[in-house]
Amino acid sequence: MAKSFYITAIGQNGLKHEASVAALGFARKAGPAGFFKPVASAADDAELKAALSHAGLAGETSDYYGLTRAEAFDLLSQGLEGAILDTVFQKYNRLAAKFDRVIIEGVDLAPAGGALANLDAAIAANLGSPVLILATHCGCGCGEIDLAAVSAGVQAYQARFAEVAALALVSPKIGQAAGAGKFAPLADLQVWELAAPADIAARLEKACGAICGLSPKSLTPKRFEFDLIEKAKTQKQHIVLPEGNDERILRAADDILAKDFADLTILGDPEAISRQAKSLGLTHLAAKGNLIDNRTSALLPDLTQAFFELRKAKGITEEQAAAQMQDRNYFGTMLVKTKKADGMVSGADGTTAATIRPALMIIKTKPGCSIASSVFLMCLADRVWVFGDCAINPNPTPQQLAEIALISAQTAKAFGVEPKVAMLSYSTGASGTGPDVDAVVEATKIAKEAAGKIGLPLDGPLQFDAAVDPRTGASKMPGSPVAGQATVMIFPSLEAGNIGYKAVQRTAKAVAIGPVIQGLNQPVNDLSRGCLVADIINTVAITALQALADK
């Protein structure tokens, strides 16, 4: 994926387009570079056309913008900022795949600066692009910049987790304005004090390469979810949804089939599902869904026989096998076992045990995994954490806790989260004692031995604050490769993990994706009975990626 550089301005500022075109010229000197406007003035945006022509960029104008201003306003008026971001992501990703660098010209903010300024910041944050903000004098002839307004504007971008790399203050009186000193509270911000618009190009020539090369520090939930689906599209997998009686499942299935990132088999009465799909207007489900009644399917005899062969050593009879296979989760799990599907997602209207028990019985754990375990992907406003085990193992032994830590790190890496593993406790380092702390100390010792061989940062025991807060981590565990920067949190018990993930989910308004089941030979994932349609879509994408990784 190309590196990017986002150029925008506070208020209405004609310098933005000139600066973006100049940056494109400098970027092209270093290699193939593209140009992108998330929101164009219109389908025939004259400035965009001129920029593309000047740079010799081939293709249709529509290849180089997300949507038009009128389209953006229409979606904003309906409260559909997410739909705007989805469109921008899709168009940007297609473009970025063709270039080493992309210069992004931010949204024209006036009129209606408030709504569009929020959108501009959200787009920059979700694209993970470092941002240059331009600010100039008010135009009344005084030549002065309202530094308080500019500071508030920059902080508004940062509040939405846009990564502001530089602020350019352009004014003939800038030398008299004590400009840079006013921005000391804005950490890690370069402030360029420029006397004239012509100075922007010279400064950009020096800075463009460095800014384009910055790696994003934040990962928004929207970006994370979008990337999951885009990765799943690269090689579609076949996922079973046993709960065709649930409207949420049907709505999610329709969306999945519309986005075309997985093939689906849905279990239930095909006629009833088709009627409900039609009444709900689910056209993609009606046209592309593979609907099977597990109680009468032509596959039933072969799957029953295969299940009997798997379990006969445990004393099951053929009659018992046939009765068991009337259960939708057993039938769905056997589809996965016999490779008629790549994974299964269930639990929207059933218990975790009803989903996991057949998987443990039929699919079993991978070689080297003594237990199945789970993680939640906790999508906060600017990052993704991985919490385990929050759903399966009540009181893991030190050996099991170490195993959970190592496989959770693998899961994190598979989904784009760089793993730094914290073994959590109510004590940090050697500050506390007791059986519970001793168990985490032992688990950390076991896990560290394996982690050291693969260069995995892992440490403990760590209290939660010492794990995630840099200042606290440095104070309580100086020199630790994990303290203050952990991304994977391993809780000492199911009780602690379940309380922990729900506390973060509710108080930080985090998107909790999971539980994601780890350690099985083939992926089966559980849904909460309170799950939303979006949760089902995300879980299917995760299951598809697990299946792909196993191949």
What are the tens digits of pLDDT across the range 33-82? Answer: 899 999 998 888 888 999 899 889 988 999 999 999 899 889 988 888 88
Q: Which residue has the tokens 């300024």?
A: 117
Q: Is pLDDT at 110 greater than 60 in this prediction?
A: no
For position 175, what pLDDT does the model report? 53
Return residue ranges of the chain for CATH 3.40.50.10950: 219-364+525-551
Q: What is the mean pLDDT of the chain?
A: 86
- What is the enclosing helix (H) or strand (E) of 431? none
CA angle 19-20-26, nearest 5°?
Answer: 90
What are the tens digits of pLDDT across the range 239-268? Answer: 999 999 999 999 999 999 998 999 999 999
For position 430, what pLDDT does the model report? 74
Is residue 367 exposed (0-12), middle (13-18) or buried (19+ Cβ within 10 Å)? exposed
Model confidence at 178, in pLDDT bands (50, 70, 90)?
A: very low
For position 128, what pLDDT does the model report? 84
Model confidence at 12, in pLDDT bands (50, 70, 90)?
A: low
Torsion of CA 368, 549, 333, 516, to 10 degrees: 80
For position 474, what pLDDT does the model report? 92
Q: Which residue has the tokens 């009337």?
A: 326
DSSP 8-state assignment for residue 241: E
Q: What is the mean pLDDT of residues 456-472?
A: 94
For position 186, what pLDDT does the model report? 54
Class of domain 219-364+525-551: alpha beta
Model confidence at 272, in pLDDT bands (50, 70, 90)?
A: very high
DSSP 8-state assignment for residue 520: B
Phi-psi region of 181 (alpha: psi -120 to 50; beta: other; left: phi over 0): alpha
Q: Is pLDDT at 225 greater than 60 in this prediction?
A: yes
Q: What is the mean pLDDT of residues 452-463?
A: 93
Q: What is the mean pLDDT of residues 213-221?
A: 72
Return residue ranges of the chain for CATH 3.40.50.10750: 365-519
For position 269, what pLDDT does the model report? 93
3-state secondary structure of 505: helix
Class of domain 365-519: alpha beta
For position 221, what pLDDT does the model report? 80
Model confidence at 173, in pLDDT bands (50, 70, 90)?
A: low
Q: Is pLDDT at 163 greater than 90 in this prediction?
A: no
Model confidence at 112, in pLDDT bands (50, 70, 90)?
A: very low
3-state secondary structure of 50: helix
Q: What is the mean pLDDT of residues 474-498?
A: 94
Q: Is pLDDT at 138 greater than 70 in this prediction?
A: no
Q: What is the mean pLDDT of residues 356-366?
A: 91
Q: What is the mean pLDDT of residues 261-277?
A: 93
Q: Is pLDDT at 144 greater than 80 in this prediction?
A: no
Model confidence at 469, in pLDDT bands (50, 70, 90)?
A: very high
Q: Is pLDDT at 2 greater than 80 in this prediction?
A: no
Query: Which superfamily is assigned to 3-218 in CATH?
Result: P-loop containing nucleotide triphosphate hydrolases (3.40.50.300)
Paired strand residues for 343? 239
For residues 124-152, b (16+ Cβ closer than 10 Å) or e, as one string?
A: bbbbbbbbbbbbbbeeeeebebebeebbe
What are the tens digits of pLDDT across the range 392-447? Answer: 899 999 999 999 999 999 999 888 889 999 999 999 987 767 788 999 999 999 99
For position 145, what pLDDT does the model report? 72
What are the tens digits of pLDDT across the range 371-388? Answer: 999 999 998 888 899 999
What are the tens digits of pLDDT across the range 183-206? Answer: 544 556 788 887 777 788 888 887
Q: Are 447 and 453 in contact (CB under 8 A)?
A: no
